[in-house]
Chain A
């Protein structure tokens, strides 16, 4: 049974945690009061998740104490944290896809286990109670695999609340959500704060502004700033987070007058599940131009990127690149035409995770005269190139022999970017380039994309982040159910207009 009826205050004092070679938490003190929402922000690797894992009993601090309502608690396992009424929703959802919502929630609820039987009726009652109380609609009999990501997250919330959580920790809750789902979640959490206290980890500052009462900024394991959110602008918080003024990289140049570089005409492509993911899709992009493709993910973006790059079969229609048709060429042939591609799945597709940075740099060019002769690799040249790109692109790693998969997301993206840009592409397809990256890395990547545009390369920028698209693009297209809704110029586009188009409504209707 829960140890505390109410959590009036959670306080951590002087918490220090060391990992080999890293001081993950350095004398951290924080306080969260009743009905408060604390935003914990910081770049990747600042120690946010480590701190939360200590509150959840997954790690033990080397030094320091945790207090609830002024009473010292010792949290040795996640069960201790549950008993105190603390619950956490992780970044990766912990749900069994082929079980129902009801079964998933019963899975963690020890009090529903009656010998060899599970008291599902009791669990169902509790779910109804919780969803009624907080306005969290879930269908207990739906299977997890049937649910969209946003719905799965609601299930995670209900699960945590059913376990009796009175204090919620949310680790980057919006990282996998669409803009609409994000807005819903923020409204929901705001209303829930009348019952609960919440710590939420994020590096999206507009969410921090919209949701939190207080904000704490971590950098290199230290709290470098604490304050009331309302007193600071996003820009000030961003500067405190990165330690320097953050420049928003915006494309303010005249729209490109270059020739058409990539022309997509009446393209039809099937998804893995067999339906038409692209349905007579049309779009053309000039050289020296960034065209942003906005849309809720799952509307054909992945299939478009794969079709252009020869990874997915084209059913009908044409893709013309620099005057030549490239549909249904092999990936190798498309690469040879000068196409660059930053894929959505950077960890599994953009790099070979178990190979070194050096080996990943030559992924597309092992047979080029630069890197090999008569099929024998030129190790010296490869090492020099990798070393040079490491400095040029500020890839933070122990060395070029480090396995690429062991790097952080931002550095993996820099490896991919270094490879793609150093190949001097004539065109670049760029899919969700900053998803999950911290501001420093995102800023760097945007800067590089703008540089590339200036040098006359056409870029197709597929993204869900409207802010990113509106800052960088010359023109903006909106994809919905595999069709190009409309193409707007940079000046015409507003968040509202794009939002409406993304939802599938045409303006003139």
Chain B
């Protein structure tokens, strides 16, 4: 890459971050908060000690797994905003096994739960994939609608078939998952659990799938240009459906991990919006499995800061949601600017033209 292009890209990102911070500052001032203190809490708290860093990491795990699935489907030409529903389906399946098969050894029951979550999520992803491939139903419509269905089905399950009979408080929830079905914590005094290994494995698997295998190649070709893929003899419908199944399976596994590593039982609202944030993380990570890792870490920090803001300041934690929204808008804007050849050319003229001229003169 040319020198000036790299400088240009860094400059654009820097300006974008600055704008996000400034607009965020305006919002903080508007709600009567202290700008610097707020930002300091968001940035510094996660790194205060290992315990707080673990808090970021346990939020990062489901985000990362969901976002990997989103990357697969988006690169195959289908936008999966149904990860939320697929997570719920995964949780239901994992709960059913985790609460009933506690007598089996851990080495068997843990993978069983995760796989069950993956299968349930995958099947639930199959529906919108099939609808789009065969009947050309917009996935935006079908996935959003199926989210409602899944949420209500989940609410039914934790009230009737999975309800904890010992629970007398009236809060609908499932029984605790069996001891043998939990993802163990890795360190004393930290909430970080074994789910992080699954996340790391999936990063590698999805990376290889997308970029090193013929399946990934065909998915990417179908997503980039359906017409050319068809011309090239690729069965576009088939790979569209497969990509949605993989995407759903990732979301389902993320749900299972959240259940077995963090919550310990199925409770209402336990997906915490990871299904939607995962879409943003995937886009922020440029739909690339390796870039999604830092992207999910960054969003983990934002999510964790909600907790800290509530405890330490008067700033409403929803501010973080506003910041998230700002970041999304800025990503979109930056993508428009960063590859625009005209802006690059103007930038070069303004800051680099003089230097180049001198160089050509020297050469001449």
In the complex, A363 has a CB within 8 A of chain B:
yes
In the complex, A149 has a CB within 8 A of chain B:
no
Residue in A19, A351, A355, A372 whose beta carbon sits within 8 Å of that of B214 in the complex = A372
Interface centre among B217, B221, B235 (most CB of A within 10 A): B217
Question: Which chain B positions have C-beta within 8 A of A336?
Answer: 233
Using A20-B348, A359-B217, A377-B214 as known contacts, say yes or no to A331 and B228 having CB atoms under 8 A apart: no
Query: Would B213 and A355 count as touching, CB distance under 8 A?
Result: no
In the complex, A352 has a CB within 8 A of chain B:
yes
Query: Would A330 and B231 count as touching, CB distance under 8 A?
Result: no
In the complex, A496 has a CB within 8 A of chain B:
no
Nearest Cβ on chain B to A27's Cβ, whole angstroms: 15
Question: Which chain B positions have C-beta within 8 A of A332?
Answer: 233-235
Query: Would B227 and A366 count as touching, CB distance under 8 A?
Result: no
Query: Would B218 and A366 count as touching, CB distance under 8 A?
Result: yes
Residue in A331, A354, A372 whose beta carbon sits within 8 Å of that of B230 in the complex = A331
Residue in B217, B224, B229, B235 whose beta carbon sits within 8 Å of that of A330 in the complex = B235
Query: Would B230 and A311 count as touching, CB distance under 8 A?
Result: yes
Question: Which chain B positions have C-beta within 8 A of A363?
Answer: 221, 228-229, 231-232, 234
Query: Would A349 and B228 count as touching, CB distance under 8 A?
Result: yes
In the complex, A79 has a CB within 8 A of chain B:
no
| Bound Cα distance from A372 to B215, whole angstroms | 11
- B234 nearest in chain A by CB position: A332
- A334 nearest in chain B by CB position: B233
- A19 nearest in chain B by CB position: B345
| Bound Cα distance from A367 to B221, whole angstroms | 14
Question: Which chain B positions have C-beta within 8 A of A480?
Answer: none
Question: Which chain B positions have C-beta within 8 A of A345?
Answer: 227
Nearest Cβ on chain A to B80's Cβ, whole angstroms: 20
Question: Which chain A positions have C-beta within 8 A of B348?
Answer: 20
Q: How large is the interface on B (under 10, 10 to 19, 20 to 34, 35 or more residues)?
A: 20 to 34
Using A359-B217, A375-B215, A377-B214 as known contacts, say yes or no to A348 and B230 having CB atoms under 8 A apart: no
Nearest Cβ on chain B to A17's Cβ, whole angstroms: 12
In the complex, A255 has a CB within 8 A of chain B:
no
In the complex, A353 has a CB within 8 A of chain B:
yes
Query: Would B2 and A377 count as touching, CB distance under 8 A?
Result: no
Query: Would B235 and A367 count as touching, CB distance under 8 A?
Result: no
Residues 303-362 (chain A) with a chain B CB within 8 angstroms: 309, 311, 330-336, 341, 343, 345, 348-355, 359, 362
In the complex, A14 has a CB within 8 A of chain B:
no
Question: Which chain B positions have C-beta within 8 A of A121?
Answer: none
| Bound Cα distance from A349 to B212, whole angstroms | 24
In the complex, A220 has a CB within 8 A of chain B:
no
Question: Which chain B positions have C-beta within 8 A of A8?
Answer: none
Query: Would A366 and B214 count as touching, CB distance under 8 A?
Result: yes
Residues 192-225 (chain B) with a chain A CB within 8 angstroms: 212-215, 217-218, 220-221, 224-225
- A348 nearest in chain B by CB position: B227
| Bound Cα distance from A186 to B276, whole angstroms | 59
- A306 nearest in chain B by CB position: B231
Using A367-B214, A377-B213 as known contacts, say yes or no to A335 and B233 having CB atoms under 8 A apart: yes
In the complex, A376 has a CB within 8 A of chain B:
yes
- B357 nearest in chain A by CB position: A18
| Bound Cα distance from A6 to B181, whole angstroms | 88
Query: Would A375 and B213 count as touching, CB distance under 8 A?
Result: yes
Question: Which chain B positions have C-beta within 8 A of A376?
Answer: 212-214
- A333 nearest in chain B by CB position: B233
Using A375-B215, A376-B213, A377-B217 as known contacts, say yes or no to A343 and B231 having CB atoms under 8 A apart: yes
In the complex, A364 has a CB within 8 A of chain B:
yes
| Bound Cα distance from A352 to B217, whole angstroms | 11
Query: Would A350 and B231 count as touching, CB distance under 8 A?
Result: yes
Query: Would B233 and A352 count as touching, CB distance under 8 A?
Result: no
Question: Which chain B positions have C-beta within 8 A of A343?
Answer: 231
**Binary flags per residue of B135-168, CB closer than 8 Å to A gives 1, else 0:** 0000000000000000000000000000000000
**Binary flags per residue of B222-258, CB closer than 8 Å to A gives 1, else 0:** 0011011111111100000000000000000000000
| Bound Cα distance from A164 to B85, whole angstroms | 61
Query: Would A354 and B214 count as touching, CB distance under 8 A?
Result: no
| Bound Cα distance from A305 to B10, whole angstroms | 47
| Bound Cα distance from A334 to B221, whole angstroms | 19
Question: Which chain B positions have C-beta within 8 A of A375?
Answer: 213-215
- A368 nearest in chain B by CB position: B214
Using A366-B218, A375-B215 as known contacts, say yes or no to A355 and B224 having CB atoms under 8 A apart: yes
Question: Which chain B positions have C-beta within 8 A of A355?
Answer: 220-221, 224
**Binary flags per residue of B321-359, CB closer than 8 Å to A gives 1, else 0:** 000000000000000000000001100100000000000
Question: Which chain B positions have C-beta within 8 A of A354?
Answer: 224-225
Nearest Cβ on chain A to B359's Cβ, whole angstroms: 12
**Binary flags per residue of B36-57, CB closer than 8 Å to A gives 1, else 0:** 0000000000000000000000
Question: Which chain A positions have C-beta within 8 A of B218?
Answer: 366
Question: Which chain B positions have C-beta within 8 A of A333?
Answer: 233
Interface centre among B214, B221, B227, B228 (most CB of A within 10 A): B228
Residue in A20, A330, A348, A366 whose beta carbon sits within 8 Å of that of B228 in the complex = A348
| Bound Cα distance from A359 to B224, whole angstroms | 12
Given A332-B235, A343-B231, A362-B217, 10 new contacts (CB under 8 A): A19-B345, A20-B2, A20-B348, A309-B231, A331-B231, A332-B233, A359-B221, A363-B234, A376-B212, A379-B212
* 26 A-B interface contacts by CB (under 8 A): A19-B345, A20-B2, A20-B344, A20-B345, A20-B348, A332-B233, A332-B234, A333-B233, A335-B233, A348-B227, A349-B228, A349-B231, A350-B228, A351-B225, A351-B228, A352-B232, A353-B225, A354-B225, A355-B220, A355-B221, A359-B217, A363-B229, A363-B232, A364-B232, A377-B214, A377-B217
User: What 4 pairs across the A-B complex have the smallest Cβ distances?
Assistant: A332-B233, A363-B232, A335-B233, A366-B214
Binding site for B on A (CB under 8 A): 19-20, 309, 311, 330-336, 341, 343, 345, 348-355, 359, 362-364, 366-367, 372, 375-377, 379
